[in-house]
Amino acid sequence: MAQTPKSKAPADEPPIDRKRDGQIVLVFQGGGALGAYQAGVYQALHEAGIEPDWVIGTSIGAINAALIAGNPPEKRLKNIREFWTRARHTPLTQIIGAAPFFGAQFANMATFASGVQGFFAPNPASWLGPLARVGPELAGHYTTKPLEQTLSGLIDFDQVNAGPVRLTVGAAHVQSGEMRYFDSRETPLTVKHVMASGALPPAFPPVRIDGELYWDGGILSNTPVEAVFDDNPRRNGLVFAVHMWAPNGPEPDSLWAVSARQKDLQYASRAASHIKRQKQIHKLRHIITELSAMLPDDVRTSNAAKSLSAYGCLTQMHVVRLLAPPLQGEDNLKDIDFSPEGIGRRWDAGYLDTTRVLAARPWVGDFDPLEGFILHEARAGDVMPDTVTSDS
């Protein structure tokens, strides 16, 4: 059930108030070329004078996140633009893509054949065949050496590890199947950590970190928002969760549509169930705190009561979920559409959607104090996002 807050702040107030809203967090999904939408989201925030305290990402989301954390504010947008310029289709592929009728499909086929400049290139070791034992770090159809060179030139990892913006990237541990979040607050991050987060098999080989192999975190959790909710200690915050895969969609009526819908469902990462679970958990934490305050003094101060009341808290998180719109004509290969047009359209969509959200400011107002997790759904073209404050 969607509800609006009880009151709104005056229109002349800034969209973000650090004292009121707490830490500003950006959470970026993985999605290949779809990540241009995230760049547009950041541009809108940057132009509004809003810089994040914490950025979290998986796959292409980890790359965008690292570009933000690994640069001072005045260089962030410039270097994000430079990355997406380098990641465009080659000039030849652009010419193919401009052809009428099936040009876009042929351009995607060309990407399979030749890779993307500044990102990935065919791996000669893969030509030996699927049974050839080439070693784990060569076990991929492509090499990501171009990406390593690109990121090393655009990201200052001293800035990542000592700067004001916290960076977290998610990767899948190959042997255990466990999700691992590498956090600049806990361990020094390098370009290898970012590349591991985007090492999607079987296209890209795994990346070895501290002797262990890691693949793209998206194969386990493509929406790494749980890193915020499970953080310790928890803090009040305004979380912009940027989603690029549609959890809802029409019935597929062709094999192409089936493949596209399957990708959407796979990489949406059960976002709806994650959100419902987190809303329930945070409400229970608030209830525990309220119940603890009702205990008699002699009970409340006992060791047993203190141990139980530690499970409660009164932090409040406003989560703004930005959902990238589908583009006309896109298909199941939309995540490798690195055409200038595709990148530009998705970038513009992220910028416009975020501009609308900042104007609406759905997180400003009076909300139920028992609610620790307040979701604001921002769909493409919304003037005022829905604010969901109940579990129904």
Cite the beta strand spans of the chain per DSSP E.
23-28, 54-58, 121-122, 142-143, 166-173, 179-183, 207-209, 212-216, 237-243, 317-323, 373-378, 386-388
Which residue from 29, 31, 58, 108 is spatially nearest to 263, judged by alpha carbons? 31
Residue 38 φ/ψ, nearest 5 degrees: -65, -35
* Token representation of residue 362: 């759905």
Amino acid at site 389: T
Rounded-to-10 torsion of CA 281, 284, 289, 293: 180
The number of beta carbons lying within 10 Å of the beta carbon of residue 58 is 34
Residue 157 reports pLDDT greater than 90: yes
∠ at Cα 366 (321, 272), nearest 5°? 25
The pLDDT of residue 96 is: 58
User: What average pLDDT does this structure show over 168-196?
Assistant: 97
Compute the half-sphere exposure of residue 3: CA atoms within 13 Å on the CB side of its CA: 15
pLDDT tens digits, residue range 48-58? 999 999 999 99
Place 303 in a pLDDT band, splitting at 50, 70 and 90. Answer: very high
Q: Give helix then strand counts, H and E, for the chain.
A: 15, 12
**Mind giving me the DSSP string for 163-188?**
SSSEEEEEEEETTT--EEEEETTTS-
Residues in contact with 153: Cβ distance below 8 Å, sequence separation at least 6, in sequence order:
none
Q: In percent, how much of the chain has pLDDT > 70?
A: 88
pLDDT tens digits, residue range 55-110? 999 999 999 999 999 999 999 999 999 999 999 876 666 555 555 555 566 666 67
Question: How far are the Cα atoms of 99, 277, 330, 388 from residue 274, in angstroms, in the given order?
Answer: 42, 5, 27, 15
CB 347 within 8 A of CB 266: no
CB 334 within 8 A of CB 35: no
Residue 383 reports pLDDT greater than 60: no
**Mind giving me the DSSP string for 245-303?**
S-SS-PPP-SHHHHHHHHHHHHHHTTHHHHHHHHHHHHHHHHHHHHHHHTS-HHHHTSH
Q: What is the C-alpha separation between 341 and 127, in angstroms, rounded?
A: 32
Residues in contact with 241: Cβ distance below 8 Å, sequence separation at least 6, in sequence order:
27, 223, 225, 319, 320, 321, 322
Strands 121-122 and 142-143, by their bridges, are antiparallel
| Position with higher pLDDT, 367 vs 168 | 168
∠ at Cα 370 (364, 372), nearest 5°? 65
pLDDT tens digits, residue range 317-362? 999 999 999 888 787 888 988 888 899 999 999 999 999 999 999 9
CB 218 within 8 A of CB 58: yes
